[in-house]
Homo-oligomer: A and B are copies of this chain.
Amino acid sequence: VNCCIVCSRGWSVIGDNYNPCCSLPCMNSGVCVLVDQNYECDCTATGHYGKNCETGNKLFRPSRNSLHHLMTHYAWVWKIVNSISWLQKKIMRTVLNVRTKFVQEPSPYVGMSEYPTWNNYINKSVYARSLPPIPRHCPTPMGIKVLPDIEVLSKLIFQRNNFEPCPMRTNVFFAFFAQHFTHQFFKTDPKKGIPFQWGDHSVDLSHIYGDTLAREHSLRMHIDGKMKYSTQNGEMFPPLTSEANVTMSGERLMKGRKFAIGHPGFAAIPTFFVISTLWLREHNRVCDIMKELHSDWDDERIFQTARLILTGETLKIIVEDYVQHVSGFHFQLKYEPEVLHGSDFSYHNQIHSEFQLLYHWHTLLPDFLKLGDSIYTLKELLFNVEPVVNAGMETVLKQLSEQFAGKVVGGRNQGPELIAVAELSIKQARELRMYPFNKYRERFGLKPYETFEELTGEQKLASVLRDLYHDIDALEMYVGFFVEHRRYRQVLGETILEIGAPFSLKGVFGNPIGSPAWWKPSTFGGEVGFNIIKTTNLKKFVCRNVKGCPDISFKVPENVKYKSVE
């Protein structure tokens, strides 16, 4: 095999001594196998055939864009659809089926493993992945494509010059909620690094209750199912570390009060701390209700049942408030796991590297945050949650909900204190030897982009990208996610959404509490507990746990105009 690689704007011939799988010849997710110095593509189950799995029915339904158009237009039609229960359920089931079929669970590929092994099935200590790594010992880390320098990319593509607010009016509270929610399952091992991770691949509320039984018990009161708490300025907050025998990350660096929370990193910044406080209050509130109902229940049963109720509430809010906001759909999404009952479904989940990478929405964060009467840089809030405690939850939540979050995609909106995260992520994605952006689009049923202009929807950034990558097929996945143009009525670009949604919905609807054997009143302490889940939403969740019942959503209220916080 003779092949050319792009090299500093010219083409240079490389030898024929490399693994032919390095050029990623198999299309449509066919598996490349080396046989006698030559490659073969295993096209099984791709719906394609031919030497490179190139022939067959394209899975790229041209309908993908039409579907998006349909879901984000004709509001009056959707208003009717949403009100017809059986129709809404039918469409929801279809959405779930269409989305989750892109997730292969259990994945044959995990971590850096290049081929399926039994160990891949049982190894939970690494992220799974939906495409194998590019083979080792290729001419370049991207197979045969050459990649630009990370610092150059960072400066020209990621760095924020002027803060761009999210056109969908996403607020900072959403950013906080997103970070809190996702870090219960995005848990890259701090010592071993990516792809190693220490989570349980699921929405397990380990960030509230701790990842081990020992940590859980240190945080529990062992009275009526409740979690320990402390009272600060007359409000309920997590317990102080002096009151719960758990270690918190960066405890030495913390300014002011040191709080103890399920996830060891969640007392370090207000992002995690605010939402942790809300869930702590909700847990103890639910315990009171269960205690009232079941006078014969011991502490353990109240605790365990409250935990399952909170799991259900989390999933409900994630689907009906959070994903709804991200989708931009007029169609009303619902967490009603029963729509999947009657047919088989795998109530298991794996967190994929691709999901972890595409979820780096640090562009959401502005450079300054107003908490109480002061304005802080993000750096000033590191290891410092005092401003939250001092201002009080009601004030803070109102402020977070009224401040604009940044535009996620389109490039050049990563704040100065987070630019290092983008650089690290590109580096990690390269270490993971991820397939190029266009290959991932193909894997998830999207047509590969043909030009940089088609990708960015404009000229300027496209031209910079062309200078850096030369070839659209050489564009790396992580960069592609964040330079793509924003989709109509959506916070995100097409690729992040179309790859993220399958992982997200599989994670939510694959939670065991939604399975036929679990999803029934008795699992949640009877009809009362079941109804807590079924009737909750973001607004009520905040209202009932914060004095003054602030009216909170994931959007900046319509009467608030964007202005720079500086």
Contacts and interface: CB of A to CB of B under 8 A. Distances in A.
Interface of A: 31, 33-36, 40, 42, 44-45, 100, 104-108, 115-119, 121-122, 200, 204-205, 213, 293-296, 301, 304-305, 307-308, 311, 341, 343-348, 512-513, 515-523, 526
The 10 A-B pairs with the shortest beta carbon distances in the complex, nearest first, are A44-B520, A104-B517, A42-B522, A346-B346, A117-B304, A31-B522, A121-B512, A344-B344, A116-B523, A106-B512
Residue among A40, A100, A344 facing the most chain B CB atoms (10 A cut-off): A344
A118 B35 contact: no
Contacts of A33: 522, 526
Nearest to A528: B35
A106 B347 contact: yes
Contact of A517 (B108, B294, B301): B108
A515 B108 CA distance: 9
A117 B209 CA distance: 13
A515 B205 contact: no
Contact of A35 (B305, B308, B512, B526): B526
A252 B118 CA distance: 33
B45 A516 contact: yes
Nearest to A520: B44
Given A33-B522, A34-B296, A45-B520, 6 more contacts: A31-B520, A40-B526, A42-B521, A44-B520, A45-B517, A108-B523
Contacts of A519: 44-45
Copies in the complex: 2
Nearest to A103: B517
Contact of A305 (B115, B296, B346): B115
A131 to B, nearest CB: 11
A199 to B, nearest CB: 12
Nearest to A118: B307
A519 B107 CA distance: 12
Contacts of A513: 116
A50 to B, nearest CB: 16
Contacts of A307: 117-118
B516 A104 contact: yes
Contacts of A117: 304-305, 307-308
A106 B347 CA distance: 7
28 contacts: A33-B522, A34-B294, A35-B294, A35-B526, A42-B522, A42-B526, A44-B520, A104-B516, A104-B517, A105-B347, A106-B347, A106-B348, A106-B515, A106-B517, A108-B523, A115-B301, A115-B522, A115-B523, A116-B513, A116-B523, A117-B308, A118-B304, A118-B311, A122-B200, A344-B346, A346-B346, A346-B347, A348-B348
Contacts of A311: 118
A427 B341 CA distance: 37
Nearest to A516: B45
Nearest to A205: B118
Contacts of A341: 45
Contacts of A205: 118
A296 B44 CA distance: 23
B346 A343 contact: no
A305 to B, nearest CB: 7
A201 to B, nearest CB: 10
Residue among A213, A345, A518 facing the most chain B CB atoms (10 A cut-off): A518
B204 A122 contact: yes
Nearest to A510: B346
Contacts of A293: 35
Contacts of A520: 31, 42, 44-45
A117 B518 CA distance: 10
Contacts of A36: 295
Nearest to A311: B118
Nearest to A511: B121
A118 B521 contact: no
A517 B308 contact: no
Nearest to A216: B119
A132 to B, nearest CB: 10
Nearest to A200: B122
Contacts of A526: 33, 35, 40, 42
A296 B135 CA distance: 13
A185 to B, nearest CB: 13
A344 B343 contact: yes
A105 B346 CA distance: 9
A307 B121 CA distance: 13
Contacts of A100: 344
A305 B518 CA distance: 37
Contacts of A295: 36
A345 B348 contact: no
A197 to B, nearest CB: 16
A181 to B, nearest CB: 17
A345 B347 contact: no
A119 B115 CA distance: 32
Given A119-B304, A305-B115, A346-B345, A108 B35 contact: no
